[in-house]
Amino acid sequence: MSYNNIISKENNGITTITINRPKKLNALNRETIQELHEAFSEADSDIDTKVIIVTGSGEKAFVAGADISEFSDFDVNQGTELASKGQELLFNFVENLSTPVIAAVNGFALGGGLELAMAAHFRVASHNAKLGLPEVSLGVIPGYGGTQRLPQLVGKGRAMEMIMTGGMIDANQALSYGLVNYVTTQDELLPLCEKIGVKISKNSTVAISAAIRAINANFKDGVDGFNVEIQEFGNCFGTDDFEEGTTAFLQKRKADFPGR
């Protein structure tokens, strides 16, 4: 598919989705959110794609936030719909995708940008990354899952401080908080994400999808994550990947997983 605001390319089992609005510091408007939904959906359906990397174009920003000009005159109902539709189309959608998603955070990840990065399954940052949720400085709160995912990742107290102050933290602070897994140079950011992606792609895509569902279940109200793990574990025994993985182990060879 062709897009106006993003670029999506698959290479050796890794699809890289790049938000390409450099003049707007890759800010998220409604069209970009819709295009991201379509690109993630397309990559998730592609049997050749084992891992998805999402990043921003240029050297300044991953995503510097939402496009404020689109909603500055919204009323209560419109604001509620904006958050609801955005979470459904993109942020919750990415979190629950069956294909692993790595956020390569190059530069500013603010507001909706940090919320997108947090919706990914984990994050890698460049040295110049700045991360924050500055929404309270605009008289509003994070609306794309930021108040929920940030405490899950960094703890309640740190999340409260970050959201209340609206301040930014740098890459090393994000690493110490557990908000990102690695910090590297800008030049090495995508190569490192690709290296991790290759490691992931050698394993069972069926099992990885089951692991994503089981891990996410622990963060859903009213859901017993242990029971989900038991069910997903049991389901694995009925897959071709389980048969290949165990057979390869017993035969002392590398597994060649048939995948989804």
Q: Is 115 a catalytic residue?
A: yes
Helix residue spans in 46-100 (DSSP H): 76-86, 92-95
Q: Is 194 a catalytic residue?
A: no
The answer to whether 102 touches 51, Cβ cutoff 8 Å, is yes
Give the Cα separation of 45 and 29 in Å (integer).
24
Tens of pLDDT, residues 124-135: 999 999 999 999
95, 115, 194, 232: the catalytic one is 115
**Sign of the four-CA dihedral 185, 186, 189, 191:** negative
pLDDT for position 131: 98
Q: End-to-end CA distance of the chain: give it in Å, rounded.
A: 22
pLDDT for position 1: 78
Residue-level length of the chain:
260
Give the Cα separation of 29 and 18 in Å (integer).
15
Whether the per-residue pLDDT at 259 is higher than 80: the answer is no
135, 194, 232, 244: the catalytic one is 135
Mean pLDDT of the chain: 96
Angle at 126 (CA atoms; ends 108, 34), nearest 5 degrees: 50
**Residue 68: pLDDT band with limits 50, 70, 90:** confident
Whether the per-residue pLDDT at 260 is higher than 90: the answer is no
Mean pLDDT of 134-155: 97
